[in-house]
Structure 1
Amino acid sequence: MTSPRAGLDTSPRDTILDAAARAFMERGFKATSIDDIARRLGATKGMVYHYFDSKTDLFFEIHQRGMDALFEAIEPELKRDLPAAQRLHAMARRHVATLIETQHFQRAVAEGVQMHLRLSTTEAQRRQLTRLQNRRRRYEQVFLEVLCEGIRQGDLRAGEPRLAIKPVLGALNSVINWYHERYDTGPGALDALIEEVTTVALQGLVAR
């Protein structure tokens, strides 16, 4: 799978996706036109249409790339031979770091999902959105399974794990709404921010 940032200097398709994600983040999906994306690229909208049939197609691929990046980020941590609580913390750290790295992709997804749930009218759009939503559920399920393992090991707690994992991921995901480069004030600042967000989000799961 390809990270959203991979190949942006060489692949026209990836360059278009990057520009579209930034435009959606800044202006909102509804307010952004193909012309806006083309102007951001310094190109014609014909170039955009050469690779994508519509703004909706752009959104769906941005969503796919954003999810690809998250799955890729947590996979190495998921496979480590560590207690579940430590793996969950490491996965959450990588999740937050990837959200920051691909913030424009993730913001575009967050802003666009609810709109497409309401407005996707063609059968093909509904099928695509259903596939993407199912993939997001599978991602949540990965975290849930590690949480349940940690509960069995006695290091984590949750009365209703399926419910508990949702506000935990919600707290982690909030970083896409407020993170700004001004927080990265010097060596180690970004790592400290990621650790703080992770620790606060997970602290309610730690067995006392």
Structure 2
Amino acid sequence: MARFFDVKVCLPIQTSKLWPFWNQSSKIEAMAINPTSRATASRPKRAVKREALLDEATRQINMRGAGAVSLNAIAEAAGLSRNTLYYYVSDRADLAFRCYLRTCEANTEDLAIAIEQGSNICERIEHYIARTLTNSRHPLAVLSDQDFLPEPQRSMIGELNRRNVETLKALINDGIETDQIRAVQSEIAAQALLGMINWSQLSAMWLGQRDGRSFRRRASAAIADLFFNGIAANRGERFDNSLDATQLITQPVNPFDRMQASQQKMLQLIGAASRLFNRRGLDGASLDEIGAGVGVTKGAVYHYFDDKTDLILRCYERGFELYDIFMDAAIAQGTNGFERSMAVMHLNCQAQASAAPPLMLQPGLWALPEAQRNRFIAAASDLWKRSNAMLQAGVNDGSCRHCDAAMIAEVSAGAFLWLPKWLPENYPLSPPAIADQLCDLLTFGVAKR
């Protein structure tokens, strides 16, 4: 059954100010869109089956994307017939909505309990990280394909998620005001933390690892360590970036060369598609919208790509090419493990905040053809191993703190991969300035020294 919480009741008075965005209207809206929730209270068996259905659907959404899940496969895995499935949900979009709604409610609950149980701000944030990743309950859907949902469900999930983000931001701001957290940009800090948490629910799949409780506990500990303490061994050491991601990926083009001009147009389409896929999810962006982004029709898009899957594959291929370019440039530029690790982070942040970013690693990997999927997993794993090697070299040369280098190299990617999901069009900071803020956060952490 759907869970709702009047958090002002369960929180002590001194922390209730962190919850200005939740009210009873959310409960009313959710019950209106979720009419079966009351019925399941008197039918425990049906409630159990419904939760099993949402569990399997959530796993499939994270693997295949909201628009590519198979209702037949989900029903079979949940022990339901196809006809019985329609007792619980009306269609694929309704199923995705219910999974996203349950995730938002779980995040609200995790924040409320963490705030209630923690004795200080840092403890509360640490409790929240641990509850989200290690609590033995239902799986959580990464909120990447919200634009796949129709209205008003899309707006509702966006609003519930916004309230949870605002609560986390308020928690960070409260820590700054009470001198428990150093002065940081709370929006960037909150979103970086959420990005690492969300990526940790996908990274095992993308890196060919085994997900499970031990992996989640290790990821939770690494995220907390990185968020609070950063990676720099010396608190006085700062990273000054001299690399420009745009210059690294821009190639000279002869406009009078037909082949080069055609190649440039295709790259523009790939860049526009990557940007839209990053913001709206692979299932939330249409070919019409992608073509409009560069001023061409859907027919022109089909001139360069066989179909949407072909376009997605080309976007990932370009993405991994750029990720390798950034890695090579960081290795060449840095003089120690810390500088190289931060250079990779800075370049990736710049790129994801730009107008033509690399395609982020996101839900939908298992919807791709097997051969290409395995190739992308191998490429992602290679990037992670190189990042781990740089960070471990920093530990060895004394420029980085002693830490779980392999896991921090893994979870830290979420800080830049999540950027397109929250960064508004009119954000006041430039891509290099956003990269500066994120690198400062991951250099020193937020804990006050």
Would you call these one fold, judging by a TM-score over 0.5? Answer: yes
Which residue does 2:436 correspond to in 1? Answer: 195
* Pair 1:163 & 2:407 matched: yes
Q: Do 1:168 and 1:202's aligned partners in 2 also have CA atoms closer than 8 Å? A: no
Q: Hey, what's the Cα distance between the residues in 1 that align with 2:334 and 2:250?
A: 28
Deviation at 1:62, TM superposition (A): 0.7
Q: Do 1:84 and 1:149's aligned partners in 2 also have CA atoms closer than 8 Å? A: yes
Which residue does 1:114 correspond to in 2? Answer: 363
Which residue does 1:46 correspond to in 2? Answer: 299
Higher helix content, 1 or 2: 1
Which residue does 1:175 correspond to in 2? Answer: 419
Which residue does 2:381 correspond to in 1? Answer: 137
Aligned length: 191
Q: Hey, what's the Cα distance between the residues in 1 that align with 2:401 and 2:394?
A: 8
Deviation at 1:63, TM superposition (A): 1.2
Deviation at 1:34, TM superposition (A): 3.4
* Pair 1:62 & 2:306 matched: no
* Pair 1:95 & 2:339 matched: no
Q: Hey, what's the Cα distance between the residues in 1 that align with 2:353 and 2:271?
A: 14
Letter in 2 for 1:149: A
Q: Hey, what's the Cα distance between the residues in 2 that align with 1:61 and 1:49?
A: 13
Which residue does 1:153 correspond to in 2? Answer: 397
- Could you report, residue by residue, the CA deviation over 1:158-189 in whole angstroms, capped at 9, with x for unpaired residues? 4422112222222233323223353345xxx6
Q: Do 1:66 and 1:102's aligned partners in 2 also have CA atoms closer than 8 Å? A: no
Q: Do 1:70 and 1:98's aligned partners in 2 also have CA atoms closer than 8 Å? A: no
Letter in 2 for 1:20: A
- Could you report, residue by residue, the CA deviation over 1:121-160 in whole angstroms, capped at 9, with x for unpaired residues? xxxx111011112112211222111111111112212442
Q: Hey, what's the Cα distance between the residues in 1 that align with 2:313 and 2:346?
A: 26
Q: Hey, what's the Cα distance between the residues in 2 that align with 1:86 and 1:47?
A: 43
* Pair 1:17 & 2:257 matched: no
Give the TM-score taking structure 2 as reference length.
Answer: 0.38
Give the TM-score taking structure 1 as reference length.
Answer: 0.74
The structure having more radius of gyration, on CA atoms, is 2
Of residues 307, 312, 325, the one that matches 1:72 is 325
Q: Hey, what's the Cα distance between the residues in 2 that align with 1:34 and 1:191?
A: 30
Deviation at 1:44, TM superposition (A): 4.3
Uncovered stretches (5+) of structure 1, i.e. residues with no partner: none
Distance change (3 Å), C-alpha of 1:22 and 1:165: closer
Alignment RMSD (CA, Å): 3.1
Uncovered stretches (5+) of structure 2, i.e. residues with no partner: 1-247, 256-260
Distance change (3 Å), C-alpha of 1:100 and 1:4: farther
Give secondary structure in 1 for the equivalent of 2:313: helix
